């Protein structure tokens, strides 16, 4: 079993919250008493309540998972990354000494120089270092500073010509990565928020105006329905009206939950609180007027959409780099497995790198490795910038709902 997954399973309490207010405790309409045929609105009410409950539990698992994940990143992944970088720097220094020494042919020196430029480029992408820059300039055809300047110019040209983004006059980027982030942010905002140009305003038809009026009236009625639930709870639970100190404390805690649920527009929590203090029961839910059910459905639908957006925000960082086969079932467990796979791969790379560092002390071993090495004809180009900008600018795709 993977490390992070076993740790999560051994901390089940992290995922288990109190039942009341945790989702899924409100009885479905028609779940008690005599079986009755449910209306379309009643069926939708049951579906919304069930979906909200499921999303609540999913979010609770993610929120419990994140501290475990962050701790493992800090305590296990980052030291591994630092160790890997340290050994890569050691390899760069070893190869540099070999080139400066004797025993390599001209062709072999070219191959080592090619390896060095590739390794140094990767290392400098993760963080600039004066000594690494010096070594890069020693082996690359173009200096590091000149290459960065070319990348900056390329990114600026593509911002306007490819993406139609004008760089703000006051914006100054120190690195191409800063500029790419700025372009991606502008694109993300344009895609996420900027509405399409509606063109010349058209006079609304009587049918359209009537439809909008109905929507506004429905929204007001839905809001009024939520206020009614809030007022009923506040009337029963207000602690100032309770003479008994113990009961007053209990009501104060419940009233805090009522106030938070009302402020958050959390109708399901309010209804669950009504159930817990016996203001409603299964029969009361089944007997709700159709109009009231429709009002509740409107509020619950909005609540469900907010929860979906919250889940997308929580999971978005894990979508990048995650195998496609895991996207449909992205969960804390699969994110944990991805971390374990990454660390396993890094350990294998580190093991091989340390073996090479030891082996290349013998020049014959290095020469044998160089025999199968082909000089690279690849170099960073516009496609790299395009891919990076598009990746960063793309809003996370919402996963399919079941």
pLDDT by 10s per residue, the chain, length 402: 445 445 544 433 323 333 333 344 788 887 665 556 889 999 999 999 999 999 999 999 999 999 999 999 999 999 999 999 999 999 999 999 999 988 899 999 999 999 999 999 999 988 889 999 999 999 999 999 998 888 777 767 766 666 666 666 566 666 666 766 777 676 666 555 545 555 565 666 666 555 555 556 555 666 777 788 888 888 888 888 778 888 888 888 888 888 988 888 888 888 888 888 777 777 888 888 888 888 889 888 989 999 999 998 898 888 765 555 555 568 898 889 889 999 999 999 999 999 999 999 999 999 999 988 888 754 444 445 445 545 555 555 555 554
Task: State the pLDDT at residue 192.
Answer: 53
Task: State the pLDDT at residue 164.
Answer: 67
Task: State the pLDDT at residue 131.
Answer: 95
Q: How many CA atoms lie within 13 A of 89 on its CB side?
A: 17
Task: State the pLDDT at residue 292.
Answer: 86
Rg, Å, the chain Cα set: 30
Rounded CA separation 119/116 (Å): 5
Task: State the pLDDT at residue 223.
Answer: 74
- Token code pair at residue 393: 């600018």
Rounded CA separation 47/295 (Å): 15
Residues 6+ apart with CB under 8 A from 228: none
Q: What's the predicted TM-score (pTM) here?
A: 0.68
Dihedral of the alpha carbons of 265, 271, 272, 277, in degrees to the nearest 10: 120
Task: State the pLDDT at residue 86.
Answer: 95
Task: State the pLDDT at residue 280.
Answer: 75
End-to-end CA distance of the chain: 27
Task: State the pLDDT at residue 34.
Answer: 56
- Local structure of 320: helix, strand or coil: coil
């Amino acid at each position: 079993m993977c490390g992070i997954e076993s740790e999560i399973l051994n901390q089940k309490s992290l995922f288990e919250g109190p039942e009341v207010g945790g989702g899924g405790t409100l009885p479905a309409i028609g779940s008690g008493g005599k079986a009755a045929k449910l209306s379309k609105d009643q069926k939708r009410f049951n579906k919304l309540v069930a979906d909200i409950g499921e999303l609540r539990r999913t979010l609770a698992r993610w929120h419990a998972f994140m501290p475990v994940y962050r701790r493992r990143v800090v305590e296990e992944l980052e030291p591994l990354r630092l160790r890997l970088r340290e050994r890569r720097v050691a390899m760069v220094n070893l190869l540099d000494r070999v080139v400066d020494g004797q025993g390599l042919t001209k062709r072999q020196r070219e191959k080592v120089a090619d390896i060095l430029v590739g390794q140094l480029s990767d290392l400098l992408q993760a963080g600039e270092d004066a000594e690494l820059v010096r070594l890069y300039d020693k082996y690359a055809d173009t200096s590091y500073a000149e290459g960065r300047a070319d990348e900056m110019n390329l990114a600026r040209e593509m911002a306007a010509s490819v993406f139609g983004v004008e760089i703000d006059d006051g914006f100054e980027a120190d690195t191409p990565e800063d500029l790419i982030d700025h372009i991606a942010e502008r694109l993300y905002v344009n895609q996420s928020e900027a509405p399409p140009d509606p063109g010349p305003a058209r006079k609304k038809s009587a049918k359209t105006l009537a439809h909008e009026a109905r929507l506004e009236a429905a929204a007001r009625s839905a809001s009024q329905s939520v206020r009614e639930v809030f007022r009923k709870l506040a009337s029963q639970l207000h602690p100032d009206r309770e003479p008994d100190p113990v009961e007053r404390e209990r009501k104060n805690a419940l009233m805090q939950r009522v106030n938070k649920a009302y402020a958050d527009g959390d109708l399901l929590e309010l209804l669950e609180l009504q159930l817990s203090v016996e203001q409603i029961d299964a029969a009361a839910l089944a007997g709700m007027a159709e109009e009231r059910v429709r009002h509740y459905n409107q509020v619950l639908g909005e609540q469900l959409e907010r929860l979906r957006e919250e889940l997308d925000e929580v999971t978005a960082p894990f979508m990048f780099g995650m195998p496609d086969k895991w996207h449909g079932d992205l969960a804390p467990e699969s994110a944990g497995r991805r971390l374990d796979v990454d660390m396993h791969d890094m350990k294998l790379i580190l093991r091989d790198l340390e073996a090479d560092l030891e082996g290349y002390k013998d020049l014959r071993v290095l020469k044998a490795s160089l025999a199968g090495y082909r000089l690279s004809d690849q170099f960073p180009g516009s496609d790299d910038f395009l891919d990076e900008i598009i990746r960063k600018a793309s809003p996370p795709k919402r996963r399919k709902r079941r």
